[in-house]
Chain A
Amino acid sequence: MRAALTIAQRDFRGFLGTPVGWIAGCILFLVSGLLFTIVTNQLLLRGEAVDPVADIMGSLIGFLNYINIFVIPIFTMRVMSEELAQGTFRLQAGAPITSGEIIGGKFLGIMFYFSAICLLLLIYPLFVTVFAEPDFKVMAAGYLGLILNIAAIVAIGLFISSLTQNAVISYLGSVFFIILFLFSAYVKGAPEWYQRSVNILDLGNELSRGILKTSSIAIYLAIVSTFLFLSRLVVETKRWRV
């Protein structure tokens, strides 16, 4: 576990030591800031009764969940494919630690970064709290949904990135696979439990409306653990394939 934290800490600092972390942060803040302003203005202009949590925070978190599909693969590509290509992965693979610790460390490193982003995004709930009286429990559920969505996309991205050393293939492959994964819910004849399980964007929206179910959390945990396990498998078998 300590080795995983060491890797996570390094990766987190690595994001801040290179432009990637700052540019991705800027994009997320710019997009969320614009969206927050537009949504708030639109609602106020219409002069209708505004639910600060469902209308403002709900649409903001829903949109961030979409944007993350395109932002997170940049990070998973960086920590897996680029490291495989540059040989720095060998540094970790050559250390007396398990492949589970390596994958866990990489997962946590990206999660640390996005947790920091989420922490800074708390500025919007703060605004909402100053100018309205939101339901904090619903708002917390929405944030939990955002973090769980991030975790699921990171796990899927890590799996795809562990398959290739090519950064472009890694990024495009991850985005494509995540979209495919989400849209597989709409395949005709897919069982209901499957439709519900893979459509994590809907699950996120459900959470941002304050509907917190044990099954939703279980689905997220299942997705994260499955894809982390698969990434570990890929890394482990790298010793035997070339």
Chain B
Amino acid sequence: MIEVKDLVKLYGERKVLHGLNFSVGVGRVCGFLGPNGAGKSTTMDILAGLLGPSDGTAKICGFDVVTQTREVKEVVGYLPDNPPLYREMTVLEFVTFVAKLRKVPSAQRKSAIERVLNDCDVKDVANRLVGNLSKGYRQRVALCSALVHQPKVLILDEPTEGLDPNQIVHIRELIRKLAKDRTVILSSHILSEVQATCDDVIIINQGSIAAQSSLTEAGSNRPAMVFSFADKTENALSWFKEKTFVANAELFSDKPNSLLVSFKEDFYGDARTSNIVQVNSQLVQQGFGLTSVYEHRTGLESLFFNAIKNQNSFVGGQA
């Protein structure tokens, strides 16, 4: 659905994209992660047909972004980081304008607008001026404009920015729902956001891909565990260190009287649940005062920081 090969973008002398390569299939939600200025928005602009690449190719649904820009724009719905909105229009007028601009046939226009207003939960403000809405509502109106023509590929640049927690959950659900028969690319610098919504993750740093992984590979299948104790944490630590199935055990810095324990690979097999139950019951028998146990999903976080650290040190080494 999206195929990017050796994508390069130069802004004058400055190279912002250094030959990106990736592909995203139908029904996948791909998260673009990266620090500010990494090249996420530039990549998205190129994929949406708004910016021309300096070198390399990008194809959306088989259409080339350089030679078949019009076709690309027909199949792409794009929500930029700074949502383009006409403040003096009402929500309904604005979405109708975008639907006309996007060439939604007049027979289907009314139902398309109705559907998108419902999906993005802005029907109650349909007759209000966009300029008078809160940031969260404005973001959702912008999302309406990206969805009104039912695009096959959805490119969202920080879609949940400015939304309250309720709205974030709602938008996440909406993205998951939309992704069933579409391809979605979303950028964010909130790791939990990507973890909750995406199937794949691409980490971009300094214009090149620092890491690319499916989120199950990113470690969420083998989470470390946090064990909290009323007292005797040190005793529990030495108990864990003696066990052969433990890969690493250390004091957990985020929570007092707690241990962060990661297990060896065979611990996470089919008997994973019974293994955890067994460890818990042994801890209780030992009388360490176990108060709580939960999974600590560090996969994406460590992937992100390691990727960026490795790349920076590589670049630094080169210099």
Contacts and interface: CB of A to CB of B under 8 A. Distances in A.
- Do A and B form a real pair? yes
A242 B70 CA distance: 21
Interface residues of A, number: 25
Interface of A is mostly: helix
A37 interface: no
B115 interface: no
A90 B73 contact: no
Given A3-B103, A96-B103, A239 B84 contact: no
A214 interface: no
A239 B50 contact: yes
Contacts of B100: 2-3, 6
Nearest to B49: A94
B4 interface: no
A95 interface: yes
A203 interface: no
B229 interface: no
A41 to B, nearest CB: 40
Interface string B70-82: 1101101010101
Interface in B60-114: 70-71, 73-74, 76, 78, 80, 82-86, 88-89, 93, 97-98, 100-103
Interface string A34-52: 0000000000000000000
A92 B84 CA distance: 10
Interface string B130-169: 0000000000000001000000000000000000000000
A89 B84 CA distance: 8
A88 B88 contact: no
B52 interface: yes
Nearest to B81: A87
Contacts of A239: 50-52
Contact of B73 (A86, A89, A95): A95
Contacts of B102: 95-96
Contacts of B93: 13
Given A3-B103, A10-B97, A14-B88, A87 B74 contact: no
A95 to B, nearest CB: 4
B48 interface: yes
Given A90-B84, A96-B73, A240 B101 contact: no
Nearest to A97: B101
Given A10-B89, A13-B93, A90-B80, 14 more contacts: A3-B100, A14-B89, A17-B89, A18-B88, A87-B82, A87-B84, A90-B84, A91-B98, A94-B49, A94-B78, A95-B73, A95-B101, A95-B103, A97-B103
22 contacts: A3-B100, A6-B100, A10-B89, A10-B97, A13-B89, A14-B89, A86-B84, A87-B83, A91-B84, A91-B145, A92-B101, A94-B48, A94-B49, A94-B50, A95-B98, A95-B103, A96-B73, A96-B74, A96-B103, A97-B101, A98-B70, A239-B51
The list of the 6 closest CB pairs from A to B, nearest first, reads A17-B88, A91-B84, A96-B73, A95-B101, A6-B100, A96-B74
